[in-house]
């Protein structure tokens, strides 16, 4: 009988202990939730920070947020300040200052590792600004000139056969499908819907957005994009890479890229899976101030999932 009474008391104490543990866990969770809510910026914080930046922005400013997962909030609050050139930038040469909207003390990846020139807090959102001295703008050079807008005037051909420029309904996108085709694009073979050329945004091997010209090679036959009457400067800077899902497994065929000026090849290289968003810089100072046709050709042995995309710009001063 005593054994039964003892078991009952032990059972009651165990139940009481478990109940207290449960209540403690609930209390800790509630406290944690309240603490988290006090640390999360409000919509008004983001709006006020964006308004402050908007009133003081200038040409050649870059707008970023930190940590990176707050980027959608930056677009929501200050989307009118952002351009495809900013969102899909290849480097910082085109910018003179960086504005950052950050939370929890995070430092933006692109900002210099020094104190900012300006700081102001709006609730949980910190606004910081840095002047960039190591870019073309910071050095007082002529701003880089992107050649992406020139794609509208391009001549595109496959094996010498002209590709048709069309205005079409935009459809596609989604995982594994490559960059989204723009409304205005060149179509080289209607039987191969992936074989188009146009200005777009892709995601590179590091999942960074890149503003570029999609030029998926068709095969061994060169796909050619010609930009006529390009007035050259001291340097031509070229970046290129593949949509990340088509490069990360490192099983695709290498892509040959050729850059020509007036049909003279000035650079030829292979892009292999794993190269990521790769840079090629050409010295064109000997021809600075003159005009030439800039030609980009792509080819490969196997075109499966070879969604190559490139960006080019003219740097330095021109006579």
pLDDT in tens, 12-71: 555 555 555 455 445 435 434 333 444 689 999 999 999 999 999 999 999 999 998 999
Pairing state between β 255-261 and 291-300: antiparallel
Q: Looking at residue 3, what is its pLDDT?
A: 54
The secondary structure of 294-319 as a DSSP string is EEEEEEES--TT--EEEEEEEES---
Four-CA torsion 87, 89, 93, 95, nearest 10 degrees: -10
Annotated domain spans of the chain = 43-131, 145-315
Q: Where do we find the tokens 């050409």? A: 282
Q: Residues 140-151: what's their mean pLDDT?
A: 93
Q: Which of 53-67, 96-110, 161-175 has the lowest mean pLDDT?
A: 161-175
Q: How far apart are CA 33 and CA 31, in angstroms?
A: 5
Query: How many residues make up the chain in this entry?
Result: 319
pLDDT tens string 170-183: 776 666 677 889 99
Q: Which CATH architecture has domain 145-315?
A: Sandwich (2.60)
Q: How far apart are CA 239 and CA 309, in angstroms?
A: 8
What average pLDDT does the chain have? 89
The candidate with the shortest Cα–Cα distance to 255, out of 294, 303, 213, 214, is 303
**Angle formed by the axes of helices 43-56 and 71-78, to 10°?**
60
Q: How far apart are CA 309 and CA 205, in angstroms?
A: 12
Q: Residues 143-168: what's their mean pLDDT?
A: 95
Q: Residues 3-11: what's their mean pLDDT?
A: 53
Q: Looking at residue 2, what is its pLDDT?
A: 53
- Angle, CA of 240, 242 and 246, to the nearest 5°: 170
Q: Looking at residue 31, what is its pLDDT?
A: 36
Inter-CA distances, 212 with 166, 184, 268, 304, Å: 19, 14, 19, 20
pLDDT tens string 209-239: 999 999 999 999 999 999 999 999 999 999 9
Q: Residues 264-273: what's their mean pLDDT?
A: 98
Q: Where do we find the tokens 């992406």? A: 148
- Angle, CA of 147, 151 and 156, to the nearest 5°: 130
**Is residue 234 within 8 Å of residue 160, measured between CB atoms?**
no
pTM of the model: 0.84
Task: Report the first-to-last Cα separation within the chain, whole angstroms.
Answer: 107
Q: Looking at residue 15, what is its pLDDT?
A: 55
């Amino acid at each position: 009988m005593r054994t039964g009474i003892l078991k009952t008391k032990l059972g009651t104490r165990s139940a009481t202990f478990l109940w207290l543990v449960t209540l403690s866990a609930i209390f800790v969770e509630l406290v944690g939730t309240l603490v988290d809510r006090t640390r999360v910026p409000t919509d008004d914080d983001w709006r006020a920070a964006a308004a402050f930046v908007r009133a003081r922005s200038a040409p050649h400013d870059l707008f970023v947020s930190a940590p990176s997962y707050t980027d959608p909030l930056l677009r929501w609050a200050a989307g009118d300040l952002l351009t495809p050139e900013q969102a899909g930038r290849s480097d910082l040469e085109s910018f003179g200052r960086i504005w950052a909207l950050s939370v929890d003390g995070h430092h933006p990846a692109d900002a210099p590792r020094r104190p900012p020139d300006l700081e102001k807090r709006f609730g949980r959102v910190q606004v910081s600004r840095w002047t960039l001295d190591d870019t073309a703008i910071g050095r007082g050079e002529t701003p880089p000139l992107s050649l992406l807008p020139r794609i509208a005037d391009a001549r595109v051909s496959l094996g010498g056969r002209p590709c048709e420029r069309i205005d079409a309904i935009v459809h596609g996108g989604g995982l594994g499908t490559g960059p989204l085709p723009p409304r205005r694009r060149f179509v080289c073979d209607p039987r191969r819907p992936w074989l188009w050329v146009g200005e777009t945004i892709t995601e590179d091997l590091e999942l960074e957005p890149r503003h570029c010209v999609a030029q998926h090679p068709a095969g061994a036959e060169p796909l050619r994009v010609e930009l006529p009457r390009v007035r050259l400067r001291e340097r031509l800077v070229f970046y290129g890479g593949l949509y990340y899902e088509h490069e990360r497994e490192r099983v695709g065929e290498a892509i040959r890229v050729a850059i020509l000026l007036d049909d003279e090849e000035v650079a030829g290289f292979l892009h292999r899976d794993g190269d990521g968003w790769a840079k090629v810089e050409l010295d064109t100072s000997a021809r600075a101030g003159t005009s030439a046709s800039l030609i980009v050709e792509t080819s490969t042995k196997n075109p499966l999932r070879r969604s190559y995309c490139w960006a080019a710009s003219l740097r330095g001063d021109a006579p």
